[in-house]
Amino acid sequence: LTGGRLLWTRTVGSTIVVMLLAIPAAYALSVRPIIRWQDGLFFFISTKFMPVAASIIPVFLLLRTFGLLDNLWALGVLYLGVNLPLAVWMMRSFFAEVPIAVVEAAQIE
């Protein structure tokens, strides 16, 4: 694979992994909320508050320490870490809108 196609496959792979992790987490938070679930959701969305310029130096230092600067796997993990909180937040809002009657009907079937 060439560089562009390899990067594209990492992006798609990261998106698939994000959805595989976000859907069960969001469903669990919407169906059976835990104690102080708002705090958990605020933690998810607060990861988006930090500007990229403030987090790029620590990320660079971590990647340099572990020798992952020119590694596309590290890029995939970074995509995963950036997109997972937002995906959980958005999917939880979607699952919260599904009526309980629909969920109960699906359980009966």
- Cα 13 to Cα 49: distance, rounded to the nearest angstrom: 25
The DSSP letter of residue 33 is P
Query: Cβ-count burial of 68 within 10 angstroms (0-12 exposed, 13-18 middle, 19+ buried)?
Result: middle
Give tens-digit pLDDT for 35-67: 776 777 787 777 778 787 888 898 899 999 998
This prediction has a pTM of 0.75
Q: Look at residue 2 in the predicted model and tell me its pLDDT.
A: 57
Q: Look at residue 1 in the predicted model and tell me its pLDDT.
A: 52
Residue 102: which of 30, 37, 34 has the closest Cα? 30
